[in-house]
Chain A
């Protein structure tokens, strides 16, 4: 006999993510899930974003990247709350890990949470963490062909940061080819050109984010 189930495979993850989304909305906290390869500049971009937005907003960071209790320290050194998730070597974050992490945060006080996901362009894309947006970072040295190798992440992202643009002169990165393959995958996504460690282009990205935080 055939029995219909019609249920999402990731039902448990999706259910907890929905609960989180509701809690974030009640507390007017805007949440960013940041996806990228290791070394692409997630932590540097977070630090630059903190710099740009800390006068207006209360910010906290959730660190999920594996090799990065160092990263949490870098953020705490800026006087910003940072919670380290111990992923136990997992290839992506799941919503129950985020749920445990936010227990130590005062949501009512916060305006923005940025989650630094595990450095991986594949696995995190299928997991809802209750975020408002998934944002992905690609850095110039990784190459302009990445949208063709990892279409999933470029398709789910609601904003894309092209980081390390200061290195464009030394890498053979075709910005036009990159932009056109991204637009075919995700026609309306904004692409921000940034050099996080130099503060270049951060203002435009931060303003895009600030507009959304104000509405949360």
Chain B
């Protein structure tokens, strides 16, 4: 359970980027979270809603959090197959190989933000 820490980093980064951009407010924060990470979607939302009321996040106080969960994806190093899979089974579904490499699913990324700029 470290979603509070993760969200503090997100809000720090977004508040500062929005300030730098001269924004008047942040409308939405878009995250990409890999399903192989330990960050739980509901807990992220809960942390975001608790934290955005803090005075240091003035630009974010009405922002929406939009989370895109990224499905794990691996590449088979033997047959070249690229395939999505769940959190529990990474073997190549085509040839059964154990020689596979995870290429997506560990993202913890701030993708973008939606802001209002002064006219």
Contacts and interface: CB of A to CB of B under 8 A. Distances in A.
A123 B37 contact: no
B109 A148 contact: no
A188 B76 CA distance: 12
A8 B109 contact: yes
A91 B1 contact: yes
Given A91-B1, A148-B88, A5 B36 contact: no
B100 interface: yes
Interface in B1-47: 1-2, 6, 9-10, 13-14, 17, 21, 31, 36-39
Interface stretch (A9-17, A19-27, A100-108): A9-17
Interface string B85-119: 00111110000011110100000111111111100
Interface residues of A, number: 30
Given A6-B110, A12-B9, A151-B88, A126 B14 contact: no
A5 B114 contact: no
A170 interface: no
Contact of A11 (B2, B13, B117): B13
A18 interface: no
Contacts of B100: 187
Tell me which of A6, A10, A184, A187 has the highest count of chain B C-beta atoms within 10 A of its own C-beta: A187
A1 B88 contact: no
Nearest to A152: B38
A134 to B, nearest CB: 13
B111 A5 contact: yes
Interface in A169-216: 181, 183-188
A152 B90 CA distance: 12
Given A92-B2, A187-B90, A187-B91, A152 B109 contact: no
Interface of A: 1-12, 91-92, 122-123, 125-126, 147-148, 151-152, 155, 181, 183-188
Interface of B: 1-2, 6, 9-10, 13-14, 17, 21, 31, 36-39, 87-91, 97-100, 102, 108-117
23 contacts: A1-B117, A2-B114, A3-B17, A3-B112, A6-B112, A7-B13, A7-B110, A8-B110, A9-B9, A10-B6, A91-B1, A122-B1, A123-B2, A126-B39, A147-B88, A151-B88, A152-B87, A155-B102, A184-B90, A185-B87, A185-B90, A186-B90, A187-B91
